[in-house]
Amino acid sequence: MVAVTGASGHIGANLVRKLIEEGRAVRAVIKNDDRALLGLAAETVRADVLDPKSLCDAFRGVRVVYHLAAKITLRRADGFHAMKINLEGTRNVIQACMECNTERLVYFGSIHALDPFPKEGTVDESRGLIGETKDRSVPVIRPVARPDARGRYRCRYGPYEQSKAAAENEVRKACVSGLDAVVVSPTAVVGPYDFKPSQFGRTLLEILQRGHRILLKGGFDWVDVRDVAAGAVCAERLGKKGERYILSGGWKSVGEVVRIADGIVGRTVKRVELPMWAARACLPFSRFILKRSPMEALFTKDSLFVLRHYRHVSARKAEEELGFRPRPFTRTLEDTIEWFFNNGYLQREA
């Protein structure tokens, strides 16, 4: 039996399908939303990563746990919840795994938990976590920042990055204490079965539906969600205890991604790429201009930081040790848009 926390999320929906495809018995651990799991041959249980007892009940009799449940945000106003769910929730998952004698934990980290500096260097597994002490023999993360009285974080790194770095460090410490765990760190995830949808999914739909003509310069390293799921399964089987494996596909600018998407839907739209200095100047007004729009997430201090960093990411270790092979990005985007069409998120033009 395999348990998957956060099974109703974008990666979770694909991972559960991958495990079922391989004939595995899957226990999908969710908090509320089960849309992504309807009709699947998986046992569904409700649990909360902030409720240790519910996790122990969910992990009882389970051989392997995939921990995906997390608060993903690029807004500093969500700092308290991100820290609580990502850090405290991971501690609870680790404790439940140890109490239930789980054979292996596969923890889903994030590329954004890794130190982005030097900016032009290659980001690989040799990078430390943000805020990590120089003596890596002592697995300790210095507090990068603490929230002020209003819960805001005033530092270079956002609460999501900090919480994921601190949570990965908890996994590392647990390995020293005897837990068999491995970490996979995906980059920006794209792909089908995006039921909620994800932040990228909402942004892509907004651009295709409303035809936004202003984009941001900068970009991300993108990876197919199905390749991430396959890479995680390989990490369960082949990954070395305590090791991190980066799962990346390749860097593309936001403008290039949108141009590919326009080509897929058969549309030609002239768009303007806003320089980063101009985007930063617009930050104080973006919340009011883009209020309640998915585009708002691209205009935050943390999103602008990410757009300028993590350009040179290497998945070589995962390729050599796990057999990780990401598919071409254009194919990924074609499948993603087709899935949105087929599931009513996007209307085909006459």
Domain boundaries defined on the chain: 2-196+221-250+311-328
Range of weakest confidence among 48-52, 201-205, 225-229: 201-205
Q: Are strands 244-247 and 188-190 parallel, antiparallel or unpaired?
A: unpaired
Q: Which SS3 state, helix, strand or coil, does residue 12 take? A: helix
Asked if pLDDT for residue 295 goes beyond 70, the answer is no
Dihedral angle over CA of 53, 57, 58, 62, nearest 10 = 130
**What global pTM score does this model have?**
0.91
Return the ∠ at Cα 86 (arms to 305 and 109), rounded to 5°: 65
Nearest Cα neighbor of 207 from 267, 148, 247, 275 is 267
Q: Which SS3 state, helix, strand or coil, does residue 31 take? A: coil
For the chain, what percent of residues have pLDDT higher than 70?
A: 88
Residues paired with 64 in a beta bridge: 2, 104
Average confidence (pLDDT) over 6-33: 97
Q: Which SS3 state, helix, strand or coil, does residue 26 take? A: strand
Average confidence (pLDDT) over 248-272: 92
Asked if pLDDT for residue 141 goes beyond 60, the answer is no
Residues 167 and 88: beta-carbon distance below 8 Å:
no
CA distances from 214 to 1, 198, 202 (A): 48, 21, 16
Q: Which residue has the higher pLDDT, 309 or 290?
A: 309
Asked if pLDDT for residue 279 goes beyond 80, the answer is no
Residues paired with 189 in a beta bridge: 223
Amino acid type, 43: E
For the chain, what percent of residues have pLDDT higher than 90?
A: 71
Q: Are strands 219-224 and 250-253 parallel, antiparallel or unpaired?
A: antiparallel
| pLDDT tens column, 79-105 | 889 999 999 999 999 999 999 999 999
Give me the count of residues in the chain: 350
Number of H helices, E strands in the chain: 12, 12
CATH number of 2-196+221-250+311-328: 3.40.50.720
CA atoms within 13 A on the CB side of 80: 7
pLDDT band at 152 (very low <50, low <70, confident <90, very high): low
Residues paired with 253 in a beta bridge: 219
Sheet arrangement for strand 104-108: 43-46, 26-30, 2-5, 64-67, 104-108, 181-186, 244-247
Distance CA 304, CA 41 (A): 41
Q: Which SS3 state, helix, strand or coil, does residue 233 take? A: helix
* Cβ-count burial 48-76 (b if 16+ within 10 Å, e if not): bbeebebbbebbbebbbbbbbbbbbbbbb
| pLDDT tens column, 307-346 | 899 999 999 999 999 999 999 999 999 999 999 999 999 9
- Consecutive H or E run containing 67: strand 64-67
pLDDT band at 140 (very low <50, low <70, confident <90, very high): very low
